[in-house]
Amino acid sequence: MKTITKNDIKKSLDELGIHDGQILMVHTSLSAIGYVCGGAQVVIEALIEAVGNDGTIMMPTQSWKNLDPADGVHWTIDEKDWQIVRDNWPAYDKKITPTNTMGAVAEMFRSWPGSLRSDHPARSVAAWGKHAEHLVSGHDLSNIFGEGSPIGKLYGLDGDVLLIGVGYDKNTSIHLADVRAEYPGKHNCIEHSAVMENGKRVWKEYETLFVDGEDFEQIGEAFEKEYPVKKTMLGDAELKLMKQRDIVDFAVKWIEKNRGGEK
């Protein structure tokens, strides 16, 4: 197994054309790369050095276990214990609440010096750099992925999406297309999360769009046939760079044509 250094990471980012001032939404699997000398730390350092002080990096830092057990997120416990979770799950604290299955890089990035994290108790993002405060502010409970959410704001800034060793099923930006598209079966759902209100921990109910991402890989496959996606390798991981507006706009059309409608 080849040992990957920070210089190797920087070389791959350079091959993709990552540049000073760029605005990036990054999804990454550290383990997919192979053995990285320095682990998550050097991946973040390389990204920050690539975009510079005028750039911005955003990553998903979701803590989706802070949802109701009825949603299937606490599958290891018996239904008779669901109320225990509702009564005792810790309230979201953006400074300390860990991520769930977001990967080692995102887990380190959420508390990286200079990083800011949004207030959503289950679907937060963290951002570093010039536009970080703008991206993470005002992340409303019911507006997880829509206009005015961090993903929606990234679209407004004409940012890019970088996938490192992960597929389109991890491409959170496609959820903005979920919001914008009209398709049969589109509906809202009720979610619950533990939050702090007026200094007290409460189990908060909120309504939001139901999304599952089951067709995101199909969307990605179709997208790459029509749009340019820059690719390179880093160890065992494939890197893909795309314009966020391209993937979102394409996904809106794909969803309206294929999801629950014309095939």
The average pLDDT across 206-231 equals 96
DSSP string over 215-236: THHHHHHHHTTTS--EEEEETT
The average pLDDT across 85-110 equals 97
DSSP 3-state assignment of 139? coil
The average pLDDT across 207-220 equals 95
DSSP 3-state assignment of 172? coil
> Can you tell me the distance from the alpha carbon of 176 to that of 194, in angstroms, rounded to the nearest whole number?
25
The average pLDDT across 118-127 equals 98
pLDDT score of 165 more than 60: yes
Mean pLDDT of the chain: 96
Q: Is 254 exposed, middle or buried (0-12, 13-18, 19+ CB in 10 A)?
A: buried
The average pLDDT across 56-74 equals 96
Reported confidence tier of residue 261, pLDDT bands at 50, 70, 90: low
Quote the pTM value. 0.96
Q: Return the percentage of the chain with pLDDT > 70, whole number.
A: 99
Taking alpha carbons only, the member of 214, 215, 210, 216 closest to residue 186 is 210
DSSP 3-state assignment of 104? helix
At 147 the pLDDT is 97
pLDDT score of 263 more than 60: no
At 262 the pLDDT is 47
> Can you tell me the distance from the alpha carbon of 211 to that of 102, in angstroms, rounded to the nearest whole number?
18
SS (H, E, C) 200-219: EEEEEEEEEECCCCCCHHHH
> Can you tell me the distance from the alpha carbon of 42 to that of 5, in angstroms, rounded to the nearest whole number?
8
pLDDT score of 130 more than 80: yes
Reported confidence tier of residue 260, pLDDT bands at 50, 70, 90: confident
Residue 28 contacts by C-beta under 8 Å, 6 or more apart in sequence? 43, 59, 103, 105, 106, 162, 163, 164, 165, 166
> Can you tell me the distance from the alpha carbon of 260 to that of 263, in angstroms, rounded to the nearest whole number?
8
Q: pLDDT tens digits for 228-256?
A: 999 999 999 999 999 999 999 999 999 99
At 114 the pLDDT is 98
> Can you tell me the distance from the alpha carbon of 153 to that of 166, in angstroms, rounded to the nearest whole number?
23
- Residue 145 CA, distance from chain mean position: 10
